[in-house]
Amino acid sequence: MNKRTRQRLLPGLILSVTCAAIMFSVNCGYLKIPYENILESLIHPNSPEASVVLLQIRMPRIILAVLCGMGLALSGCTLQAVTENPLADPGILGINAGAGFSVMLFLTFFPSLHISSMIYQPLFALAGGLLAAVLLYGFSKRNGKIRPDYLLLGGIGVSAGFSSLMLILAADMDSSSYQLVARWLAGNIWGSSWHQIHALIPYLLILIPLLLTRVNILDILLLGEETSLALGVRVEKERRILLIVAVALAASCISVSGGIGFVGLVAPHVSRRLVGPRHSYLLPVSMLIGGLFLLLADTMGRSLFQPIEIPAGIMISIFAAPYFLHLLRKQI
Amino acid sequence: MMNKPFKERTFLKNTAIHTKVGYTFLILLMIVILMLFALLSVSTGVAGGNLRILIQTLFLQHNPSEIGRVMLEMRMPRALAACFTGAAFALAGAIMQGVTGNPLADAGLLGINAGAGFFVAVTTVLFPSIPIFGTMFSAFLGAAAAVLMVYGLGMGKQKSGTIRLILAGSAVSALLTALSQGISLTFGISKNLSFWTAGSMSGITWTQIKITIPCIMGAALIGFFLSGKLSILALGEESAAGLGINIRAVHLTGIVVVLVLAGVSVSTVGGISFLGLIVPHSARLLVGSDYRKILPASALLGAILLVAADIAARTIHAPFDTPVGALVSAIGVPVFLALTYQKKGAII
């Protein structure tokens, strides 16, 4: 199969695999539901047979996993192009931790805003993610240039700092929120209600098209700073815009899920192998693959050791950290 | 860069602290501070208590009161554990920095904590009734496995930069921590998730302490014997070889000492990062670049820092324990960033 056909066929293929995974995932869990009943309750959501478990617990969680995986993968893909660093990922760069920390602050200090938490939670996450990004930007700039390895080093520091602040803050709360934070750090998809999806979707609907309009700029940025300047791209400005979009994507996903790392690293790399470096193919494919990955990780975590749930972030780390090491070994 | 001597910090070279009297005074001062913190740690807490009750319990121990029993059974082991593991983490960091010439060496950053934690988790699941000594041995093995992984993967073909090692360490940590957390969730090991990442000092018993302390003491002693050689090693490997140092032997002994120190500490209090990074660098600022002075100063400073952090962890949100490793990291991260940020005379 040559590259061109592969580029055309792959999105459809991944989509159908994702659909199959969703069908499989719907039936993974404590309660087994026959497939006829699933169809029945999906077609007539208001009928009394419609399963509460299915519609109120499993479906939202599955959709959330797919959406978060998509957002994180897109964010990672953009970050890799903007920072010219193939190891970039919102988790490794500390953006996830920053966003999580600020969501934590929000939950602790502004309980009165909880009623409208749908609106405010992603905003807070965004502020935290941007703070982490700004810190990192300042740290890794040496002599006016961003040094890729310092970016990662700083990211490790920033992420450790925010995580520890989160743990310190959480001890103030009662034991259940403490467990919540510990699970956040382990990367749990805790949202199992439609509210979170409603909160997330507007952001994705704005940010993903915004990103897709800039595929050409992403392609040009890959050629290096000088070439991009010569081709008429305002590198600094575009970088800043793309960085903000990437942070916003990661942060809005993080505000409804746990701190899940490595999705944004692995999905773009796998897709690059499949469809090559052109962003017009790379972005959609890595988005789909990211969604599929996170869904599979969440499903596995949910069903491997029933009734215990392993957070999706743990599953992802187990599979993806070795891949990161492999990339690290190859890279330099 | 590997094997490059640290830059001498000349501006501190001829201050009073560098004379022998000044150094002795500093060490004595640190011992006094440590004792004070330890007393404070044992005599205060959620259940109440003060110094008088402590003295009564210690010296007139016929019939200790309830608070007295809390002090004896819960706070004393805890304070001792903080003392010794703090010293151990700091020493491990200092020795590792000396042996590998990597100024950012730290048991947490290089994945040693995660490796030890992972093996402890596996051992607890496979052999639930294993004696504590066995757990500690497996922690040692886990630490060794992590070091092998990090150095095996982090050392490139041409250049073996410090940053690469840290990156490899962070990925190995992420993997092994995820595995330990998964194991502890799946098999219901009675440790909360943050134990693996941020340490915890609650529930330390005398039986653990009785094994931890001799192990740490032994390893620390060997470490002190090594200190003179580490100072010579800091001149560069060639010069050290020329001066008659058996470099391989020093490396090997040093690494084993580090693994014992870190492994034992992790199996007792969990993964505490950044302590082994910030303490030796502070010690270097205080006493200069001679490892014969750095090692004792690091041990004492590490002990002081962890005991103080433990007191803070117990008092910040009074009835709850804050994970002590999180507190240490909160101090350690800015230092880490500052150490790597300096423009001139940057250490990497």
pTM for the predicted model, two decimal places: 0.81
**Cross-chain residue pair A164–B330, CB shorter than 8 Å:** yes
Burial of A25 (0-12, 13-18, 19+ CB in 10 A): buried
- Structure token pair of residue B227: 């200190």
Q: Name the residue facing B329 among A160, A178, A313 (closest C-beta).
A: A160
Q: Name the residue facing A167 among B177, B326, B337 (closest C-beta).
A: B326
Chain mean position to CA B136: 15
Q: Taking every pair of C-alpha atoms in chain A, what is the biggest distance, in angstroms?
A: 67
What residues of B are in contact with residue A165 (Cβ under 8 Å)? 326, 330
- Structure token pair of residue A242: 């793309």
Taking CA atoms, B244 is separated from B221, B229, B241, B254, B292, in Å, by 22, 10, 5, 17, 18
End-to-end CA distance of chain A: 32
Per-residue burial over B144-176, b = 16 or more CB atoms within 10 Å of its CB, e = otherwise: bbbbebbbebbebeeebbbbbbbbbbbbbbbbb
Q: Name the residue facing A325 among B172, B197, B334 (closest C-beta).
A: B172
Q: Which site among B122, B190, B193, B321 would you substitute to test the A interface, given the most A Cβ atoms closer than 10 Å to its Cβ? A: B193
Q: Which site among B102, B170, B347 would you substitute to test the A interface, given the most A Cβ atoms closer than 10 Å to its Cβ? A: B170
Interstrand relation of A145-146 and A141-142 (parallel, antiparallel or unpaired): antiparallel
Q: Taking every pair of C-alpha atoms in chain B, what is the biggest distance, in angstroms?
A: 68
Q: Which site among A153, A326, A327 would you substitute to test the B interface, given the most B Cβ atoms closer than 10 Å to its Cβ? A: A153
**Cross-chain residue pair A182–B193, CB shorter than 8 Å:** yes
Interface residue A161 vs chain B (CB under 8 A): yes
Separation CA A152–CA A170 (nearest Å): 27
Interface residue A313 vs chain B (CB under 8 A): yes
pLDDT (tens digit, 9 = 90+) per residue, A232-261?
Answer: 888 888 888 888 899 999 988 888 887 888
Separation CA B154–CA B150 (nearest Å): 6
Separation CA A247–CA A269 (nearest Å): 19
Return the top range by mean pLDDT from A153-162, B13-22, B298-307, B317-326: B298-307
Interface residue A315 vs chain B (CB under 8 A): yes
Question: Between residues 187 and 226 of chain A, which touch chain B (CB distance below 8 Å)?
Answer: none
* Helical ranges in chain B per DSSP H: 20-43, 51-59, 66-70, 76-100, 112-126, 132-154, 162-186, 194-198, 206-233, 237-242, 247-269, 275-287, 291-315, 324-341
Question: Between residues 246 and 265 of chain A, which touch chain B (CB distance below 8 Å)?
Answer: 261-262
Q: A304 with A318: CB under 8 angstroms?
A: no
**pLDDT computed for residue A30 by the predictor:** 64
Within 8 A by CB and 6+ apart from A142, the residues are A150, B343
Virtual torsion, Cα A104, A107, A108, A111, nearest 10 deg: 170
What residues of B are in contact with residue A305 (Cβ under 8 Å)? 185-186
**Cross-chain residue pair B178–A149, CB shorter than 8 Å:** no
Nearest C-alpha in B relative to A150: B163
Separation CA B233–CA A97 (nearest Å): 39
What residues of B are in contact with residue A163 (Cβ under 8 Å)? 197-198, 326, 329
Residue A139 Cα, gap to closest chain B Cα (Å): 7
Q: Is residue B46 part of a domain?
A: no
Amino acid present at A143: N
Burial of A109 (0-12, 13-18, 19+ CB in 10 A): exposed
Q: Is residue B218 part of a domain?
A: yes
CATH label of the domain that carries residue B165: 1.10.3470.10
Q: In 3D, which of A152, A131, A135 has the Cα closest to residue A83?
A: A152
Task: Kindly tell me if the per-residue pLDDT of B347 is higher than 60.
Answer: no
pLDDT (tens digit, 9 = 90+) per residue, B33-80?
Answer: 988 988 888 887 766 667 777 777 677 666 667 777 777 777 888 888
Q: Name the residue facing B337 among A157, A168, A325 (closest C-beta).
A: A157
Interface residue A327 vs chain B (CB under 8 A): no
Interface residue A172 vs chain B (CB under 8 A): yes
Q: In 3D, which of B93, B196, B82 has the Cα closest to residue B139?
A: B196
Phi, psi (5° rounding) for residue A215? Answer: -60, -35
What residues of A are in contact with residue B326 (Cβ under 8 Å)? 163-168
**Cross-chain residue pair B178–A328, CB shorter than 8 Å:** no
Separation CA B3–CA A176 (nearest Å): 48
Q: Is residue B188 part of a domain?
A: yes
Domain A28-331: give its CATH code.
Answer: 1.10.3470.10
DSSP state of B321: P
Q: B236 is in which domain, residue-wise?
A: 10-20+79-341
Q: At B336, is the pLDDT very low, low, confident or very high (cuts 50, 70, 90)?
A: confident
Phi, psi (5° rounding) for residue A146? Answer: -80, 125
Q: In 3D, which of B281, B319, B245 has the Cα closest to residue B106?
A: B281
Q: At B305, is the pLDDT very low, low, confident or very high (cuts 50, 70, 90)?
A: very high
Cα Rg, chain B, nearest whole Å: 20
Task: Kindly tell me if the per-residue pLDDT of A115 is higher than 70.
Answer: no
- Structure token pair of residue A167: 């743990």
Separation CA B185–CA A53 (nearest Å): 24
How many Cα atoms within 13 Å fall on the side-chain side of residue B60?
6
Give the count of domains, chain B.
1
- Please, what is the average pLDDT of chain A? 81
Angle formed at CA A286 by CA A204 and CA A15, multiple of 5 degrees = 85
What residues of B are in contact with residue A179 (Cβ under 8 Å)? 192-193
- How many other CB atoms sit within 10 Å of the CB of residue B325? 32
Q: What percent of chain B stands above pLDDT 90?
A: 8
**Cross-chain residue pair B164–A325, CB shorter than 8 Å:** no
**pLDDT computed for residue B12 by the predictor:** 47
Decide which of A176 and B347 is more confident: A176
